[in-house]
Amino acid sequence: MRRAWLLVTISLLCGCKPFSVQLFVRDVPADEAARVESALVEGGYTVVRNDSVTPELYQPTVVYFPGRKSSEAAEVSADILQQLGYSTVRVEPFFIDNHEYSPRTIGIYLRASTTPGPGQALPGVQRASFSTGCDDLDIFLTLVDDGAFHLALESGLEAVEVIVHEGRWQIENDRVELLAPGLNLDLAVTTGAADDLFSPGRVRGLQVVDDPRNATQGCQKPLRRLMER
């Protein structure tokens, strides 16, 4: 799915409504699906099973709308999956293929079979997702191997503002450069090399090193890779 460059500001009010989970269980044994659903319900989620065709995923995957509360809910749901015996759980903000979610809804995909070894890339479209938080700002970044990126900057506590940038990224001098209208951001890898972004286990984080437009408001905490749990 191709998207145009854009800059969007969204105002959200935090509420107490439980998070809803779309649980994709196509080709998953019924007893396994029931066990996962029961654990999520006990964890406080509202669960809706979905037998629709899913994107081609090779690990259990949690997808959520980028934001502070939804990020926490996604991490907790991933922890629940790991407690049930799923050794590796992928956590992704924004979307998978054309599957997108609202701030109060999470997608969980159990249709998974193969976990790559260290340094082995997954087949198909690759995504590398990172996140961090500084004081009143939370940052969510996804890099796609076709050269697109999606960056969300969430600020505020009660009245939440989310600014979304979508554009193109490239590697220059072993740094990741994000380019979009109103944005020019350079990040260095904290481990490995920038060319290894889509090799699991190689690049565990990114560090902002140049932000001339101050999009990240001086945040110096490294962005942690989300899918490596």
Provide the pLDDT for residue 185.
95
Residue 127: which pLDDT band, with cuts at 50, 70 and 90? confident
Q: Confirm whether 9 is domain-assigned.
A: no
Residues 96, 145: one domain?
A: no
Region for residue 218 given its phi and psi (left: phi exceeds 0; alpha: psi -120 to 50; beta: otherwise): left
Token pair of 160 as six digits = 């939440």
Exposure letters 107-125 (e unless 16+ CB within 10 A, then b): bbbbbbeeeeeeeeebeee
Give the Cα separation of 201 and 203 in Å (integer): 6
Q: Confirm whether 2 is domain-assigned.
A: no
Q: Confirm whether 117 is domain-assigned.
A: no
Last-in-domain residue among 109, 139, 164:
109
Angle between helices 30-42 and 68-83 (to 10 degrees): 130
What is the span of the domain harbouring residue 202?
125-225
Beta carbons of 37 and 43 less than 8 angstroms apart? no
Q: Confirm whether 119 is domain-assigned.
A: no
CA distances from 208 to 52, 54, 140, 221, 222 (A): 39, 34, 13, 8, 7
pLDDT in tens, 63-99: 998 888 888 999 999 999 999 998 888 888 887 777 8
pLDDT in tens, 128-153: 889 998 888 899 999 988 899 999 99
pLDDT in tens, 173-200: 999 999 999 999 999 999 999 999 988 7
Q: Confirm whether 35 is domain-assigned.
A: yes
Residue 124: which pLDDT band, with cuts at 50, 70 and 90? low
